[in-house]
Chains A and B, each alone.
Chain A
Amino acid sequence: MIKGFSLIEVFVTLSLSLVILSIVLYSVAESTKYSKKITGNQQVMESIFHTIDSLRSDLTKCGMRLQEASKHFDISLFENSGSSFKLVYGLQSEALKAEAYKGETTVSIDRNDYFKKRKTVLIYNIENKTFEFNEIEEIDGDTLVLALALQNDYPEKSCIVVLKRVEYKLYDKENVLKRKLDRGYFQPIVENVSDFSVTFFPDANSVLYRVEVNEREQIRGYIFLTNMVQK
């Protein structure tokens, strides 16, 4: 009799345990929910930051190494339409080491790591008023084998620029903003995008961008395209 518990004691103990357990479980559930909310928000903010950093970096480079060519030839450096835009810039430029004639498919340069197979290149000569786009098919030492035969003659010291094209596009149905490099596929960069817009001001060489995620977090910015100053 002395060693056991009375029925009332057991009921009271169980009731108290149940109440305490309920409080603990509720607290844990609330804390987990709150934790998820905070980490989720932080992740969203990080992905927005990453998107904005990529976007600003790409916009800043727009027109890089194409200043001279775009002044003399009609080369579109920036195009935008609603919720997408594309831009182009030069990764590296080199001078031709020897003359290249119309119909030929090779040009000679001091090779560097930027000139890679399947990269798009722009070849131009201001004095001869000629330019064309081509693609590197093979690389053999200092010789670039081009995919297409040259359409013009290019004297020595003509310029060849290896290009990078970047495209951003909002996929409305998926609410995903995607980025594409050169000939690659569109890769998701941020999800749950409820709005994305880019406006180009050619007279001011500036771009106004806006990214909205979850219909809540918004980032807007106005960026001066430093590499497109000349036109």
Chain B
Amino acid sequence: MNNRGSIIVAFIFVILISFIGISLLTFSHTHNKIAGARARKILSTGKILQDLVYYLHQCRERIFAENISASDQPETEIFNSDFFPDLNIDGTEIGNCIAYEETQRQTHKKVRIINLIEAASQRNNYGYRSAVNIDVLSGEIPVDEFPVLIEKKIDVPVETYLEEKKIKNKSDKKVVVEETGAKIDSPRFLSDAFQVPLPGELNWEVIREKLGLETVEAPIEDGIHLLLVDDRVDLIFIQGDVERIVFSAREDVQEILFIKEGTYYEISYRPGEYFFQCWDSGVPEYCLFKEVILVNGDAWSIEQGLETAFHGTAAIRLFVSHFAVITSNLESDNFGSGTNMVQFMLFNGGQGLPGHEGIESGIVIDAAGEETKIEAALISKGKITNHSDKLNLSGSLYAADVENLGEIEVTHAKAKVDMSPYFVSGNYRYISNFFIDFIEEVYDEK
């Protein structure tokens, strides 16, 4: 009897322990299966991603190593299925699907090469997908598309030249130093600014007529004039040298102060709006200023008045026919917020105004302090000379030559106003953009 009782108790005990053990083991088994599946997925997808990123990296290296300017149609002659071959990298199959999108611009065309790349494992269903976009510009390319374009023939590689000149390119675009046959069409820019149909028709008589002065074929006297058309101020024309041009962004207005022969001339306006206050009380306040300033002479000091020079919505084009000297920082109050485009374009030199053939011109940066920050597109038909210890230029630089007595660091940003057809390269091919639009797992949540 005692023996039978012990067996029953032991049996109950074994059942209870087994039940607990089995449930524990079952849960652990499920957990282990989940953990195992996760580990396998991480390993597999990690390998595919690694192979894909390596392939993309190789693509990038090869794209930027290509000399596309030698090809008439680089988009199809170079960037085709031979350039992007289908591969098998250690069990990861990589397939390419290439498409082209062409956009015709005023003086050039942009072809976007879109390569949809799929990377899949041969061993399982995991995969990644990516899209590489390459923008190739062909034709007469606006000079602000290049971080630095120096229209000059050199005997050394560009990298060596930049090192010698102490120019650092902080953008992913290539610096171009060669004779592209660039067109710095100041005459056309000036005739369009004066609204004269043909550049050859721009003479003193026409300028006088436009500015409301006596129409005789003689240069106008030194001074500052406004070209008023209906309720617009199309441009400000400064005849002769100007000592200082001071830009200041103050709350919702842009201020510009001109100091010429000791006299102060100040304007303030709201960019893009009908609000314009001028030293000349005869000019109505309800005017739209088109933000074009022409200096027929030298501008000895272009500077920033307040903490920032340019209002967030401004797009100022300053043309200086002789020498333009920048003597301080020139910064916008919202560069890098909104659009990453520069709001100040300084054009310098070139023919266009009557009596200007063969006059020497150039842009000089001569600001005090250790570091000078300029946000602008600097375009000079002559030479750009930097005297600052360190010049941080956000924007672009075009010149026939550069003389650098300090360091120049260029971070590329396009100009807010279209440069074509006035300031463009010769017939050229250029990779303006390379980016990986996305890298994603193929079967992912929507």
A-side interface residues toward B, CB under 8 Å? 13, 17, 20-21, 24, 27-28, 31-32, 34-35, 38-39, 42, 45-46, 49, 53, 57, 60-61, 64-65, 67-68, 71-74, 90-91, 93, 113-114, 127, 129, 131, 157, 226-227, 229-230
A65 touching B28 by the CB < 8 A rule? no
B341 touches A (CB below 8 Å): yes
Q: How far is the CA of A226 from the CA of B49 in the complex (A)?
A: 10
The 9 closest A-B pairs by CB, nearest first: A64-B438, A67-B435, A74-B337, A31-B20, A42-B31, A35-B24, A65-B438, A226-B439, A230-B435
Residue contact A127 to B103, C-beta cutoff 8 Å: yes
Contact between chains at A64 and B440 (CB < 8 Å) = yes
Stretch at the interface among B8-16, B153-161, B239-247, B366-374: B8-16
User: How far apart sit A230 and B412, CA to CA, in the bound complex (Å)?
Assistant: 13
**Residue numbers in A under 8 Å from B17 (CB-CB):** 27-28, 31
Does B358 sit within 8 A of A, measured CB to CB? Answer: no
A and B contact pairs by CB, cutoff 8 A, 8 listed: A20-B6, A39-B27, A46-B34, A67-B436, A71-B340, A157-B101, A226-B49, A227-B438
| Among A31, A46, A113, A226, residue most surrounded by chain B Cβ atoms (within 10 Å) | A226
Query: Please, how many angstroms separate the alpha-carbon atoms of A34 and B21 in the complex?
Result: 10
Contacts of A20 on B, CB cut-off 8 Å?
Answer: 6, 9, 13
Q: Which of A24, A34, A113 contacts B16 (CB 8 A)?
A: A24
User: In the docked arrangement, what's the CA distance between A8 and B440, Å?
Assistant: 79
B23 within 8 A of A: yes
Confirm or deny: B133 has a beta carbon within 8 angstroms of a beta carbon on chain A: yes
Of the residues A35, A46, A93, contact of B20 by C-beta under 8 Å: A35
Q: Are B9 and A157 in contact (CB-based, < 8 A)? A: no
| Residues of A close to B24: CB separation below 8 A | 31, 34-35, 38-39
* Closest CB in chain B relative to A125 CB, distance in Å: 10
Cα distance A91–B436 when bound, in Å?
15
**CB-defined contacts of B105 to chain A, threshold 8 Å:** 127
Which chain B positions have C-beta within 8 A of A131? 339
CB-defined contacts of B338 to chain A, threshold 8 Å: 73-74
Q: How distant is the Cα of A114 from the Cα of B435 in the complex, in angstroms?
A: 23
Q: A20-B9, A72-B339 are in contact. List 8 more A-B contacts (CB 8 A).
A: A27-B13, A32-B20, A35-B20, A45-B35, A61-B440, A65-B437, A68-B433, A157-B101
Query: Inside 8 A of A49's CB, which chain B residues have their CB?
Result: 35, 38
Q: Min CB distance, B258 to chain A, in Å?
A: 28
Chain A hits for B58, CB < 8 A? none
The answer for the CA separation of A114 and B440 in the assembled complex, in Å, is 15
Residue from B23, B336, B446 within 8 A of A74 (CB atoms): B336
Complex formed: what's the CA distance from A71 to B133 in Å?
14
Residues from chain B with Cβ under 8 Å of A24 in the complex: 9, 12-13, 16
Query: Which residue numbers of B lie inside 8 Å of A, CB to CB?
Result: 2, 5-6, 9, 12-13, 16-17, 20-21, 23-24, 27-28, 31, 34-35, 38, 49, 53, 101, 103, 105, 133, 172, 336-341, 414, 416, 433, 435-441, 444, 446
> Inside 8 A of A60's CB, which chain B residues have their CB?
439
User: Given A71-B340, A227-B439 in contact, is the A13-B20 Cβ separation under 8 Å?
Assistant: no
Chain A residues, Cβ within 8 Å of B16: 24, 27-28
Most B Cβ at <10 Å: residue of A31, A74, A129: A129
* C-alpha spacing A67/B31, complex, angstroms: 39
Contacts of A32 in B (CB 8 A): 20
Residues of B within 8 A of A129 (CB): 339, 341, 414, 416
B370 CB to closest chain A CB (Å) equals: 22
Tell me the complex Cα distance, A80–B433, Å: 29
Contact among B35, B441, B446 with A91 in the assembled complex (CB-CB below 8 Å): B446
- Which of the residues A28, A46, A57, A71 comes within 8 Å of B435, measured between beta carbons? A71
Known: A35-B23, A39-B27, A73-B339. A64 touches B439 (CB 8 A): yes
| B-side contacts of A53, CB under 8 Å | 38
How long is the Cα–Cα vector from A97 to B17 in the complex, in angstroms?
70
> Is B9 within 8 A of A17, CB to CB?
yes
A32 to B20, CA, bound (A): 7
Chain B residues with CB under 8 Å of A127's CB are: 103, 105
CB distance from A76 to the nearest CB of B (A): 10
Contact B103 A157 (CB under 8 A): yes
A13 and B5 contact, Cβ closer than 8 Å, known pairs A67-B437, A127-B103: yes
**Residues of B contacting A45 in the complex (Cβ-Cβ under 8 angstroms):** 31, 35
Given A68-B437, A114-B446, A227-B439, A13 and B27 touching (CB < 8 A)? Answer: no
Residue of A nearest to B432 (CB): A126
Chain B residues, CB < 8 A from A227: 436, 438-439
CA distance A93 to B101 in the complex (A): 15
Tell me the complex Cα distance, A17–B6, Å. Answer: 9
Q: Is there contact, CB below 8 Å, between A72 and B341? A: yes
Q: Which residue of A lies closest to B439 (CB)?
A: A226
Q: In the complex, what residues of A have CB within 8 A of residue B5's CB?
A: 13, 17
**B395 CB, nearest partner CB in chain A, Å:** 14
A46 to B34, CA, bound (A): 8
Contacts of B172 in A (CB 8 A): 230
**Contact call A57/B444, Cβ cutoff below 8 A:** yes
Bound-complex Cα distance A105 to B341 (A): 27
Cα distance, A56 to B38, chains bound together (Å): 13
Q: Which residue of A lies closest to B445 (CB)?
A: A57
Q: In the complex, what residues of B have CB within 8 A of residue A226's CB?
A: 49, 53, 436, 439
Q: How far is the CA of A93 from the CA of B2 in the complex (A)?
A: 81
Beyond A13-B5, A38-B28, whether A28 also contacts B339 by CB under 8 A is: no
Q: How far is the CA of A21 from the CA of B5 in the complex (A)?
A: 12
